[in-house]
Structure 1
Amino acid sequence: MDFLDVPTVLKVSALFNLMAALAWLTLAQAFRIAPRAGRLMAAAHLLRLATQDYGNHLAGWPDLLRQAVPEYGLLGGMVLLLLALRRMLRSRRRPRDIAWIAGLGALAIAAGLAAGSALLPELAGTAAVTALALLSVREVMQGVGDQLSRAVAVATTMPFALLALMSLGHGAELLLEPGLHGHLLHGELPSPARAVLWFVVTVAITLSLIALMIWRVVMRIQHLTYRDPLTGALNRRAFEQALADAQAQLQRGHGFALAMIDIDHFKRINDEHGHPAGDAALQHCVRIWQAGLREVDRLGRLGGEEFCALLPLQPAGDLASAAAVAERLRASLAAQPLQWGGCELPLSASFGVALPVPGDAAGEIGLARADAELYRAKAEGRNRVCVATHLQGSP
């Protein structure tokens, strides 16, 4: 790559870091898109820009600083990048692993500098960056691996994996090539291949984070489109679509059951404690029911205090399993009163369970049959599960 002008590549890299930092800050501050992740990414780019360890801008600095600045800058930038990645993926994992890796890396760099070694600080920084890059790969795969296609997930992960491989390769070079670690002290430029690779990885990681940000925005839009804003359950339109899809699969042997749910004496909660208490009660119920449902189940809010759960079954006619799920949801709610205004508000719900009817494209007959069982549960005293045992015809 002798034809490459390394100083020009480094200037382009510096300009890219500056523009990327401004872009992330604009998205975070002006448009409020992933603001915390955006600020962290801007800081990572600015830190990389300020401590870029190539060129003559370190000339004349004391040897200790000429070694410390690029190593701590690279480590700090990687920490900011990983924190931004976790924010982007809405990870609930505490950053203890990041703190341990970064802390040990920083201490090892300091120990090497104190010992007067030119090799140990760079080797310690490279090891820490490698570990953090591998941690980034894990974060992406766990965060979006099951929500995106395999090709997209691999493409999103690739820049972080490439960074880990580059760091591993650099560590091997430091161990196998004597004198390589002293290039900073002599003000040497990196090789053309290294300069280009770092620039490509920087751009690829930034694009990967942008892709994750777009995915997050799309997921947010989908949430607002298909979810009830108060409870987070599917709204009526989304539930009806899920029901129509399930009905279409019914002929192929993919059975399901419907469980209509109505919160008992809900109007009394609003009248006695106010509408905020009613909203809290709805959220409390959905939180408990979602915890008791499987990932394949769908819970929708049809209106007011009325909900419906779509429960896929295997085998298709296993009505007993659906009734057991409804009973579990009923018992869980009855056992967990709402804490409101310093007191406990006991809550209960009535359930009507029914199987769908083949040929009912919109699932209206199945819903009506489950609704009839719900009214029977109300008439028989509430806080119970009633099951439709007849399978044919309309209710």
Structure 2
Amino acid sequence: MALSEKICPYPAHRMDFIDVPTVLKVSALFNAMAALAWLLLAQLFRIAPRAGQLMAAGHLLRIATQDCGDCMAGWPALLRQAVPEFGQLACMLLLLLALRRMLRNRRHPRDIAWLGGLGALAITAGLASGSGLAPQLAGTASVALLAALAVREVLRGVSRHLTPVVTALTTLPFATLAVVSLAHAAELLLVPGWGDHVLSGALPSPARAVLGFVITASITLSLIALMIWRLVTRIQHLTHRDSLTGALNRRAFEQALAEAQAQLRRGHGFAVAMIDIDHFKRINDEHGHLAGDAALQRCVRIWQAGLREVDRLGRLGGEEFCALLPLDNPANLADAAAVAERLRASLAAEPLHWKGAELRLSASFGVALPVLGDAAGDVGLARADAELYRAKGEGRNRVCVAPDLSGAVAA
């Protein structure tokens, strides 16, 4: 999106059959269509609306500053030089801000602002010096740095979720832009008179025009792929998560339990902890169902904070939950009981404040180890459920643990 045709370092050799004005018009048309597509995604379908708006603005800005060289005919030389450099920098800044939105990176964009500010200051200083070379070097170096930052953003955002091949393909356009920008900076420094050639206003060579368009289109397609990945991730989240609390829904938890049972014979042990919120009906009756929903959300938020990334928390229905707790030692029931006790204590320590009332929340826990040969994990769940009822019968707000049946096989 932010690539000027001028930054390709390679001269044309045998591409005279390509009509450069036509390539530039195709590039402008592509950017106009891309801007319209991003606006439709943002406004009509509400898919990453802020990112879509930023991308649309970047494409339109590119048309105005990079794909419309004839529009600046007759302008003062200083303005003709300043507009492409600042426009290219602004396009890259919009691209980076949109990229962070797509990848749900909530870091403050302070680093982007600093790089953008330094780039703008360097371009301004170059223009003030009267040199034709200095502002071009400043603008090209800024694009290279921002493109490298885009590579880092993509790697941080998707490398843990996508295969190495897909991750490499996604970052390739940004990496190419960084390399080509650095090569152009070297060309400006090493090729005598090249800076003046760029300032002459001559059309780019066919090779430059084509490569500029290809990189622009590749970056746009890469961002669209990231958008589709985000949409698929969102659909998967809705499919596997309880809409109120964000915990796994019953179907997803049962699938995770079956997978854990399949790993049990290979020595990958786990425990299950059945959880029931104490006196939940009383909360609904005395304070209303909205208070009950808030209580469920508070419980899950506290429990998720106390669980490891490998642990799984599912909502089985109503106020009943279950935690799947992988163990380093398949027979180490004490570790699982300690996790359950930590979850119990953290919930009891944090009351829910609801419309001026302080609602004390607590839960009862039943913990058990699974048994071999129980494909669906029903035996382990039943044993944990029996301990849960024992905890409720003994006064609630406590953890009860089933006897260790290590090595037992389901009948």
Fold-level match, TM-score > 0.5? yes
Give the paired residue count.
395
**For 1:369 and 1:308, how far apart are their aligned partners in 2?**
13
Equivalent residue for 1:304, pick from 314, 318, 323? 318
The TM-score normalised by the length of structure 2 is: 0.92
Q: CA deviation at 1:34?
A: 2.0
Conserved 8 A contact 1:130-1:164: yes
Equivalent residue for 1:352, pick from 348, 366, 383? 366
Q: Which residue does 2:242 correspond to in 1?
A: 228
1:338 aligns with 2:352: yes
Q: CA deviation at 1:6?
A: 2.1
1:179 aligns with 2:193: yes
Q: Which residue does 2:6 correspond to in 1?
A: none
Q: Which residue does 2:50 correspond to in 1?
A: 36
Give the SS at the match of 1:190. Answer: coil
1:2 aligns with 2:2: no
Conserved 8 A contact 1:338-1:346: yes
Equivalent residue for 2:392, pick from 362, 378, 389? 378
**For 1:355 and 1:385, how far apart are their aligned partners in 2?**
14
Give the SS at the match of 1:60. Answer: coil
Conserved 8 A contact 1:54-1:187: no
RMSD of equivalent CA atoms: 1.6
**For 1:221 and 1:92, how far apart are their aligned partners in 2?**
21
Q: CA deviation at 1:57?
A: 3.3
Conserved 8 A contact 2:276-2:388: yes
Q: CA deviation at 1:103?
A: 0.9
Conserved 8 A contact 2:50-2:101: yes
Closer, same or farther: CA 393–254 of 1 in aligned 2, 3 Å: closer
**For 1:110 and 1:53, how far apart are their aligned partners in 2?**
22
**For 1:180 and 1:269, how far apart are their aligned partners in 2?**
76
Instruction: Report which stretch shifted further, 52-61 or 116-125.
Output: 52-61
1:198 aligns with 2:227: no
**For 2:409 and 2:387, how far apart are their aligned partners in 1?**
15
1:214 aligns with 2:253: no
Instruction: Report which stretch shifted further, 52-61 or 350-359.
Output: 52-61
Q: CA deviation at 1:56?
A: 3.5
* Paired amino acid for 1:103: G
**For 1:168 and 1:328, how far apart are their aligned partners in 2?**
54
Q: Which residue does 2:379 correspond to in 1?
A: 365
Q: CA deviation at 1:179?
A: 2.3
* Paired amino acid for 1:323: A
Larger RCO (CA within 8 A; separation ≥ 6) = 2
Q: Which residue does 2:291 correspond to in 1?
A: 277
**For 1:41 and 1:121, how far apart are their aligned partners in 2?**
25
Closer, same or farther: CA 53–178 of 1 in aligned 2, 3 Å: farther
Structure 2 residue runs without a partner (length 5+)? 1-13
Instruction: Report which stretch shifted further, 179-188 or 223-232.
Output: 179-188
Structure 1 residues 114-143: Cα deviation after superposition (integer angstroms, max 9, x where no partner): 222222211111122111111111111111
Q: CA deviation at 1:16?
A: 0.9
Q: CA deviation at 1:47?
A: 0.6
* Paired amino acid for 2:15: D
Instruction: Report which stretch shifted further, 328-337 or 94-103.
Output: 328-337
Q: Which residue does 1:287 correspond to in 2?
A: 301
Q: CA deviation at 1:344?
A: 2.9
Conserved 8 A contact 1:369-1:394: no
Give the SS at the match of 1:183. Answer: helix
Q: CA deviation at 1:178?
A: 3.1
Conserved 8 A contact 2:372-2:409: no
Q: Which residue does 1:67 correspond to in 2?
A: 81
Q: CA deviation at 1:230?
A: 0.2
**For 1:12 and 1:183, how far apart are their aligned partners in 2?**
24
Q: CA deviation at 1:346?
A: 2.0
Equivalent residue for 1:134, pick from 141, 148, 169? 148
Instruction: Report which stretch shifted further, 309-318 or 383-392.
Output: 383-392
Q: CA deviation at 1:31?
A: 2.0
Closer, same or farther: CA 266–101 of 1 in aligned 2, 3 Å: same
Instruction: Report which stretch shifted further, 278-287 or 53-62.
Output: 53-62
Q: CA deviation at 1:185?
A: 3.0
Q: Map 1:37-116 onto structure 2 (within 5 A).
A: 37-52=51-66, 55-116=69-130
Conserved 8 A contact 1:123-1:171: yes
**For 2:287 and 2:196, how far apart are their aligned partners in 1?**
73
Structure 1 residues 82-137: Cα deviation after superposition (integer angstroms, max 9, x where no partner): 11111111111111111111011111111211222222211111122111111111
Give the SS at the match of 1:312. Answer: strand
The TM-score normalised by the length of structure 1 is: 0.96
**For 1:339 and 1:165, how far apart are their aligned partners in 2?**
55
Q: CA deviation at 1:55?
A: 4.2
Q: CA deviation at 1:54?
A: 6.9
Conserved 8 A contact 1:71-1:121: yes
